[in-house]
């Protein structure tokens, strides 16, 4: 199975995967008695977490004898009627509903909720900036909710890729502000005034603090966290600081001598 996992990862059949993810896919296929093609058609793996595609959920719902009727599928609202046997349910979700939830914004959930409670508008995730992306997200959540209520055996605790990609992200904290909410255009927050200075942190609890004064682990976190506020020039500054710290912490080469300024006493003949 480990060998098959390595082959699967190297094949790029499921996109770029590491051998551990390849092994997980192979193990799941063996457990469910499905082929790799079946996995590709029905499931998707995001950072090691398995999700189930929206159309695959509907297909399984139909195979179980269920019916569904689309009532709305736009960038503003998704609504659908589901029925299986004696159980029926109408699931609906709107973009306005989502704007009151933390998952559409950049930042940690607690920080985003705090900003929303203060009446501020956190920065919107880039993937939700287009109508089509919002429509697909709303539809996926509508189907996931409806089928989960009427026929939970069709999902078995697995969420759609649109839902999974939101709850497994490790976003950066949004910049706190003591002033009035910043002006936004079509839901996209205006950039921080600190974004122009690449030598300081532009967001989060450490906003305004120079990169050079931060601990190494915080700099490494800033590099690994996808945050549009941290520009390429800022990342270069951070890498330069980390490189200098590594060079300073490196031990002296073997055999190297250290010069001293201590004066030697003259030797009498």
Position 253 confidence tier, pLDDT thresholds 50, 70, 90:
low
Query: 231 or 191, which is more confident?
Result: 231
Q: Is residue 262 part of a domain?
A: no
Q: Tell me the pLDDT tens digit for each residue of 17-64.
A: 888 989 999 999 999 999 989 999 999 888 889 999 999 999 999 999
Q: Is residue 261 part of a domain?
A: no
| Nearest residue to 108 (alpha-carbon basis) of 203, 202, 177, 173 | 173
Q: Please tell me the distance from the alpha carbon of residue 36 to that of residue 28, in angstroms, as a whole number.
A: 10
Query: 92 or 195, which is more confident?
Result: 92
Q: What is the pLDDT of residue 265?
A: 53
- Residue 190: pLDDT above 80? no
Per-residue pLDDT averaged across 122-126, rounded?
90
Range of the domain at 228: 195-248
| 143 & 237 share domain | no
**DSSP reduced 3-state for 231:** coil
Are the CB atoms for 158 and 46 separated by under 8 Å? no
| 93 & 138 share domain | yes
User: Highest mean pLDDT range out of 78-82, 109-113, 152-156?
Assistant: 78-82
| 85 & 169 share domain | yes
| Nearest residue to 184 (alpha-carbon basis) of 129, 114, 111, 108 | 129
- Residue 185: pLDDT above 50? no
Q: Is residue 99 part of a domain?
A: yes
| Nearest residue to 191 (alpha-carbon basis) of 123, 119, 142 | 123
| 66 & 35 share domain | no
Query: 127 or 253, which is more confident?
Result: 127
Are the CB atoms for 159 and 98 separated by under 8 Å? no
| 161 & 64 share domain | yes
Position 255 confidence tier, pLDDT thresholds 50, 70, 90:
low
Q: Tell me the pLDDT tens digit for each residue of 53-103.
A: 999 999 999 999 999 999 999 999 999 999 999 999 999 999 999 999 999
Position 174 confidence tier, pLDDT thresholds 50, 70, 90:
very low
Q: Is residue 189 part of a domain?
A: no
Q: What is the pLDDT of residue 226?
A: 66
Q: Please tell me the distance from the alpha carbon of residue 23 to that of residue 15, in angstroms, as a whole number.
A: 14
Which pTM value belongs to this model?
0.60
| 21 & 103 share domain | no
Q: What is the pLDDT of residue 207?
A: 73
Q: To the nearest whole number, what is the mean pLDDT of the chain?
A: 82
Q: Please tell me the distance from the alpha carbon of residue 242 to that of residue 220, in angstroms, as a whole number.
A: 8
pLDDT > 70 in the chain, percent: 81
Q: Is residue 144 part of a domain?
A: yes
**DSSP reduced 3-state for 112:** helix
**Packing angle, helices 54-63 and 131-150, rounded to 10:** 30
Provide the domain count of the chain: 3
Count CB neighbours of 244 within 10 A: 11
Domain boundary residue, one of 174, 209, 231: 174
């Amino acid at each position: 199975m480990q060998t098959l996992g390595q082959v699967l990862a190297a094949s790029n059949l499921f996109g770029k995967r590491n051998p551990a993810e390849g092994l997980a896919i192979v193990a799941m296929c063996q457990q469910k008695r499905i082929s790799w093609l079946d996995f590709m058609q029905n499931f998707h793996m995001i950072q090691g977490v398995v999700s189930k595609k929206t159309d695959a959920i509907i297909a399984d719902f139909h195979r179980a004898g269920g019916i569904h009727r689309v009532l709305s599928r736009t960038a503003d609202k998704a609504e659908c009627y589901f029925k299986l046997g004696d159980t029926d349910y109408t699931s609906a979700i709107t973009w306005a509903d989502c704007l009151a939830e933390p998952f559409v914004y950049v930042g940690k959930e607690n920080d985003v909720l705090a900003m929303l409670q203060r009446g501020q508008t956190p920065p919107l995730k880039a993937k939700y900036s287009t109508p089509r992306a919002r429509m697909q997200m709303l539809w996926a959540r509508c189907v996931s909710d409806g089928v989960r209520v009427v026929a939970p055996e069709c999902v078995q605790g697995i969420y759609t890729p649109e839902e999974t990609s939101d709850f497994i992200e490790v976003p950066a904290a949004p910049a706190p502000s003591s002033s009035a909410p910043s002006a936004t255009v079509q839901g996209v927050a205006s950039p921080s005034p600190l974004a122009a200075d690449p030598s300081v942190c532009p967001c989060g609890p450490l906003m305004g603090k120079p990169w050079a004064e931060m601990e190494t682990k915080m700099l490494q976190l800033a590099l690994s966290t996808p945050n549009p506020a941290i520009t390429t020039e800022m990342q270069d500054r951070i890498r330069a600081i980390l490189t200098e710290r590594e060079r300073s912490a490196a031990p002296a080469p073997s055999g190297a001598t250290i010069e001293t300024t201590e004066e030697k006493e003259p030797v009498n003949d």
